Amino acid sequence: MPRKSDRPYKGKANLDVLFGEEESKTAPQTVPIDSITLPASQPRRYFDPAKMEQLIASVKAHGVLENLLIRPLPDKDSSYELIAGERRYRAALSAGLKEVPVTIRSLSDEQALQISLVENLLREDLNPVEETEGILQLLALRLNVAREEVTSLLHRMRDEQREKVPHNVMGNEQGQTIQAVFEELGSITWESFVSNRLPLLNLPDDILEALQTGKIAYTKATALARVKDDEARQSLLEEAIEQDLSLSQIRERLKTLQPKTEISSPSSQFDATTRRLRAAKLWENPKKWKRVQTLLQKLEALIEEE
């Protein structure tokens, strides 16, 4: 399966518009590393220690092989803000480099953030949670709306596609922008993003932390999240990490936990079934609702029995 970094980014040519103009024809190719500062907000928060050690060793041996992208800080002479290349920047610091190769661009705050997001989203080692949050942030910028509104729009698009609601989001400007962003990134469809990635942000805190720090794959994380008992889930999570359990092994262990975590009392089972019936909205399907009515009549007859 090709890596994200191997896939062509269809909108890459459009990034030239975001990049702006070079600071000057004679802009230096290297700058002192201590003249570069990190932005207040970065899409990436976790750096795999083993991969960072490998990069530091490479930088010590060969230097920084790919330019960092920076922009001049306003009202500060010879000071810059890092836009893209934080792993290389951190590796260069750890390797003790005094200067680093750079590309200098004059960028607005919004341009800088968009480039930083896109650059990180194209990296193969961005974890699923960071990728999900990054895509939401990029969509919010492109649409000029709050992140919460992006999530609402995505859910409305899915409902529209499933013919659950008469919205026309997919055909309007916002829907087209959303679809264009996912086509540009090329790593995931908007449908898959709604179904598989947005739920990650609602995972229990212990599972979310393990996922963010790269200790567990997101398929395993979603499986472990089904365990509602906090102690049982934490114990299984630790076991999954320590023993590097496969997804099938985790599922087998989940089966053994079911008697402890599944609803067992008659009243609880009745409540759970009622909630599922309401959520399924079977009355919206005439054929299914007819069968439900037959079953309800039988239940009513059972209730009336002495």
Q: Which residue has the higher pLDDT, 269 or 165?
A: 269
* Of 5-19, 98-112, 271-285, the least confident: 5-19
Domains and CATH numbers, the chain: 4-121 (3.90.1530.30), 128-200 (no CATH), 205-261 (no CATH), 266-304 (no CATH)
Residue 2's pLDDT is what?
A: 37
Residue scoring higher pLDDT (125 or 303): 303
- Determine the pLDDT at residue 277: 75
The answer to whether residues 245 and 221 touch, using CB atoms and an 8 Å cutoff, is: no
Residues with Cβ within 8 Å of residue 254, at least 6 apart in sequence: 223, 226, 227, 236
Residue 239 pLDDT exceeds 80: yes
Tens-place pLDDT, residues 8-17: 333 443 444 4
Quick one: pLDDT at residue 259? 54
The pLDDT tens digits for 67-101 are 999 999 877 777 899 998 888 999 999 999 999 99
Residue 295 has pLDDT above 90, yes or no: no
- Paired tokens of 82: 């890092």
For residue 78, the model assigns a pLDDT of 79
Who's near 113: CB < 8 A, 6+ residues apart?
A: 39, 41, 137, 141
- Is 39 in contact with 116 (CB distance < 8 Å)? yes
Does 248 score more than 80 pLDDT?
Answer: yes
Confidence (pLDDT) at 82: 92
| CB atoms inside a 10 Å sphere around CB 89 | 20
For residue 263, is pLDDT > 60?
Answer: no
pLDDT value of residue 124: 55
